[in-house]
Chain A
Amino acid sequence: MHYAKPLARLVGELEKLPGVGPKSAQRLAFHILRASEEEARMLSDSIIDVKTSISMCKICFNFTDQETCDICRDPKRDRSIICVVAEPRDLVAMEKTNEYHGLYHVLQGVISPMEGVGPDQLKIRELVGRLAQGEVREIILATNPTIEGDTTALYISRELRRDLPEAEIKISRIAHGMPVGGDLDYADQATLIQAMQWRREM
């Protein structure tokens, strides 16, 4: 290494980031080096800030800087419906649509038997606990249409039917099928089967 020690250290740390190779790390490090001290401090402060102030919402397990997240605290939200997502970034994607006004539940992952991620490592117990309180009338399972997403959705619906047999909760799953701008000719069998199954009347 031909860098001065502090610079080498910065390059080394940046290289640990996902998708950042040695060349990119070097470019970023030089950018930071040339930036004003204020800019550099803002970057370092914001890194420390997320680590110290962000935690999981006690209700929905989204990331928040308070005890409960903005959505759970919002009185305008429909409290009778919960959208179940795997990751906080899925929640963000859903929020960007401006179409959904209910609450969320973030599982913090999906059941992935091959990776050794089982139901106990996710926030499924907590979801059942929320539903047992009786206020919720519908849950929407918004996991990805992958094997892991399917497994997680099937597992949750099985648990709910078993643990809360009396509860009148509608369990639904987001539709799967052709993506907007997709091409029927190139769609695979699984997608087309789903698209036909989940079709709706016009």
Chain B
Amino acid sequence: MPVYRANAIVLRRTNLGETDRILTLYTREHGRLSAIAKGSRRPASRLAGATELFNFGRYLLATGKSLDVVTQSETRESFPNIRADLNRIAYAIYIVELVNETIEDREPNPDLFDTILSCMYLLEGGVDPEVVTRAFELQLMAASGYRPRLESCARCGTPTSTQKVNFSPSIGGVVCGQCGPLPEDTMTIHHETLDTMKALLNAEAAQIRDSRPSERTLDEMANVMRWYIRYRLERELKSSEFIQALKAGR
């Protein structure tokens, strides 16, 4: 069995049999892949910690007939602060589910891997999870070919200048309303929200950390991105329901 190494984040894990787990790893080198971690549910298993959700580590994998096998692992970061905070857990789970639903197997994208990792570190460092998640959503959409058009009307190209702008998930960005009827899914947002989205779309970690959007902007962005992603994936992510439940109970 040929052996290879990968830096990876655990996107998902499911139990198999009595003591095994199947991991869905997002690796920097090989993109997403599934691998079996044998015996990882035994209390004293050397693999146990490395199979936990959003664990980041170095994995040694062996090519198997159908599934590859995790033979060794070394955890680089297990994000203990995320795990100690309900809100941060909820958003971190959402981020890994979103990645898993958006990408395809074995399509490496080191830049996207670095973005995921840097967002996880931001969450770990106590940055507002909502801001991190919005930035991540925008950058993930851009990386997977669905960058929303925010600078000018997505239909006719007229630059946006008004105080309030229309955003349509189905058109794929802002629409001016001059070049034709507004689609049914149009949402009206403030220009400030649009500016924040533009900034977050290209933001590096430090800029995300220092970004302080208003409550109104956060709400508008959450709504826009929820519908935008829903339109692209054609369904709602399961973990977003939990975020809604936490928000409702706040």
Contacts and interface: CB of A to CB of B under 8 A. Distances in A.
Nearest to B54: A147
A147 B84 CA distance: 10
B7 to A, nearest CB: 15
B242 A188 contact: no
Contacts of B46: 183, 186
Given A114-B239, A147-B53, A190 B89 contact: no
B245 A118 contact: yes
Contacts of B48: 188, 191
B238 interface: yes
B117 to A, nearest CB: 15
Interface centre among B46, B73, B97 (most CB of A within 10 A): B46
Given A114-B97, A118-B242, A154 B85 contact: yes
Q: Please give me the 10 A-B residue pairs with the lowest Cβ-Cβ distance, nearest first.
A: A188-B49, A190-B78, A113-B239, A113-B242, A116-B238, A154-B86, A179-B43, A147-B53, A188-B75, A186-B46
B181 interface: no
A111 B49 contact: no
B44 A150 contact: no
A190 B75 contact: yes
A128 to B, nearest CB: 12
Contact of B52 (A120, A147, A158, A186): A147
A113 B78 contact: no
B50 interface: yes
Interface in B231-247: 238-239, 241-243, 245
Contacts of A147: 52-54, 83, 89, 93
A159 B249 CA distance: 9
Interface residues of A, number: 30
Contact of B83 (A113, A115, A118, A150): A150
Contact of B86 (A155, A179, A191): A155
Contacts of A191: 48-49
A116 B239 CA distance: 7
10 contacts: A119-B245, A146-B52, A146-B53, A151-B89, A188-B48, A188-B75, A190-B55, A190-B83, A191-B49, A193-B80
Contact of A182 (B44, B50, B73, B245): B44
Contact of A113 (B43, B84, B93): B93
A165 interface: no
A164 B210 CA distance: 37
Most buried by A among B50, B52, B54: B52
Interface string A149-166: 011001100110010000
